Structure 1
Amino acid sequence: MATVKLDYVTTDVDGNGNVRYYFRRAGQRKIRLRGNPLSEEFQTAYRAALAGDLKPTNEKLMTPPKGSFRALCVAYYGSPKFKRLDEKTKEWQRRHLDAVAAKHGDKPTALLQPRHIRSWRDKRASTPAAANTMLKALSGLFSWGMEYELCDHNPVTSVKKMSYSSRGFHTWTVEEVKKFEETHPIGTTARLALILLKYTAGRREDAVRLGPQNIKDGRIRFTQAKNEHRKPVAIDLPVHPDLAHAIASTPVIGHSTFLVTTFGKPFTAAGFGNKFRDWCDQAGLPHCSAHGMRKAVATRLAEAGASTHQIQAVTGHQSLGMLAPYTRDANKSTLADSAMKLLEGKS
C-alpha cells in the first residue's frame, strides 16, 4: 500500500488490490479522493475537501449497476492492462471516461450505439482535439471489454474523428531560446531545465526523472517515460558540453534528480510543466512550452540535414509518421538548398 502523508487522508484496499484514498476529519464522514496522490485530479479534490467543497462519499452509490457503462469502467480500472499503462496515459483515459460516466454511467453498454457516441463527440465540437481523445479512450475501453466478454460490441468503431487544423505546440525559435537564456542565467534551475530539454529531446515526464545516475562515460541514458511499460524506448546520447556545463553550474549535489523544487523535492511532471510555464512567462514567452522545445530539437536536426533515422535516435519516435509533426516546421528553404546541391553536375 502506498504511504500517504497528507492531513486527514486515509487509505484502504479494494477487492482488486487497488489502493483507495479518503479524506476524513474527526467526527465527519469520509470523502473519496480519486486518482494518484501525485496527480492533478487528486490534488484538486484534496484542496476542495480541505475547503469543505466536497460532499461525503455514499459507498452504496459507488457500486455501479451490473452491465452499465460505469461498471465497465470500474472493471477496466482494476485490470492488469490499465495498471500497466504509464501514469500520464492513465490520467487522460480516466479523465475522459469519468466525464462520460458522470452523465451516462448507469446506461447499459449493450444499448449503446454509434449514434450515442456521435452525439457525445458532437457536443465537444468546440474542442475537437479533446473530442478525439475521448473517442480514443472509449474505443480502448470497449475493445478491452469485448476481449474479456464484458460487452458484446464496440460502438466507437464506425464513429469518425473530428477533422480540424492545428499546428500543436509552438516550436521554439533561436531568438526565443536566447530570450529565455537572458532571463534565466546559468546556475538557475530554469536554465538547467531548458538545457536538459534541449539536449535530450525529452518530454517533461523524462526531464523530472533525470539525475546523476543517468550519466556515465560521457553519455546520458534513460528509458522514456511514455509507454515505458508497454513499448519502452531506450535513449542513449552523448552529453553535450553545454549540458555538462549547466549541470556542473547548478547545485544538484545530494539529489537524485537534476531538477528540484524550492523545497528540495523532485518535481512531478505536472508540477514541472506548470513551473516551466511560469519561467516562460517571466521571459515574455507565454506561447512557448516544454514540449515545444522537443519539437524545436527535431526541427533543428532536420534543418541541419539529419536523416529521419538520426532524428528518431534522438527523439525516440517509433515511426516516421509520428515524427512528421515535429519536422514539418523545418526551414524549407534550407532543405531546398541542400537538395538542389545534389543536382550540381547532373545533366
Structure 2
Amino acid sequence: MIVVLSSILGWGVDRDWLPFNVAYRVKKLPIGSYIAWSESQVETALTCFSEPLRRAVLLAAYTGQRRGDLIKMRWDHWSGRQLYVNQEKKRAGAKDIEVYIPIHPRLAAEMLEWKKDGCDYILENCGEKWVGVNLSKRIALQVRKFGLPAGLNMHGLRKYAAAMLAEAGCTSHQIASITGHSTLEMVEHYTKSARQKVLAREAMDKLQDNFGNHGKTTN
C-alpha cells in the first residue's frame, strides 16, 4: 500500500500539484512473518484439496517459488528433468533472475500426468490460467474446510520448501539456488528452526557416539 501511495503522490509532485511526497521513505511496519507449513499439513492438502489446488501445493512445496512465479510457469519451461523460472523481482531496482530447478521424482511423476491435460500453463483452473489473488482465496477456503491452521498460504509453502532443504543438510547458498532468494539473510530467517533441528540431532548423535547409551565413555 505504501509503495502504491508513494507512486501516486510522486506523480502529483512531478506535476506540481503537490508540494512534497508525504509517503516517501515511510518505514515498514512490523507485520510479522508468514507461517511455514509442516510436512503433515502439506500431506493433508495433497490428500484432501481439490485437484487444481493440490497441484499448486505440490508445485510450491517442491520448487519453493513465489505464487506469481508459479502461475506463470508454462509447459515449455519444463524439460522433464528441470524447470526454468524467470523470477520477477518487485523491489525497486531489483533485476529479475533466472533459476533452473531440478525436479524431485515425486513432482516429476505427477507432472507427467498433468501434462496430458493439454494446457499451456502448468497450473490452470478449469482450463484457464490462475489469477494470483483467486488462487490465494481458494487455498484459504480449502485450509479452513479441512481444519488446517488459519494463516497457511502459498508463501508459507515457500518457507516449507526452504526448511525441508535445510533439514536435508543443504547450505544457505544451495537453498538460495533453488528458491532464488537474492540475500542469504532471508534464507537463514526461513530455515532457522529447521537448522536448529539438524544441529540438535547432530549434537545428540555425537553424545551417543562418545558416551554410549549408559553415560559411560566408549574408550
- For the superposition of Structure 1 and Structure 2, which TM-score range results when normalised by the shorter chain? 0.7 to 0.9
Give the partner amino acid of 1:292. Answer: G
Aligned to 1:285: 148
Aligned to 1:223: 86
The share of aligned pairs that are identical, in percent, is: 28
Aligned to 1:272: 135
**1:179 matches 2:179:** no
Distance 1:145 1:184, change over 3 A: closer
Number of aligned residue pairs = 206
Cα RMSD over matched residues? 3.4
| Separation (CA, whole Å) in 2 of partners of 1:326 and 1:174 | 15
Choose the corresponding residue for 2:100, options 217, 220, 236.
236
Choose the corresponding residue for 1:329, options 160, 168, 193.
193
Distance 1:189 1:230, change over 3 A: same
Unaligned runs of 5+ in 1: 1-95, 97-133
Matches for 1:296-311 after TM superposition, within 5 Å: 296-311=160-175
Write out per-residue CA displacement over residues 145-181 of structure 1, whole angstroms, 9 at most, x where no aligned residue. Answer: 88x685775545686554x472x22111111122222
**1:313 matches 2:177:** yes
**1:193 matches 2:47:** no
**1:203 matches 2:66:** yes
Distance 1:142 1:195, change over 3 A: same
- Mean Cα displacement is larger for which, 291-300 or 240-249? 240-249
Distance 1:145 1:282, change over 3 A: same
Secondary structure of 2:143's counterpart equals: helix
| Separation (CA, whole Å) in 2 of partners of 1:285 and 1:296 | 15
| Separation (CA, whole Å) in 1 of partners of 2:80 and 2:40 | 33
| Separation (CA, whole Å) in 1 of partners of 2:193 and 2:74 | 31
Give the partner amino acid of 1:174. Answer: E
Give the partner amino acid of 1:258. Answer: I
Distance 1:280 1:253, change over 3 A: same
| Greater relative contact order, per chain length (Cα 8 Å cut-off, separation 6+) | 2
Q: Which has the higher helix share?
A: 2
Give the partner amino acid of 1:250. Answer: W
Choose the corresponding residue for 1:170, options 3, 12, 35.
35
How does the TM-score come out when normalised to structure 2?
0.76
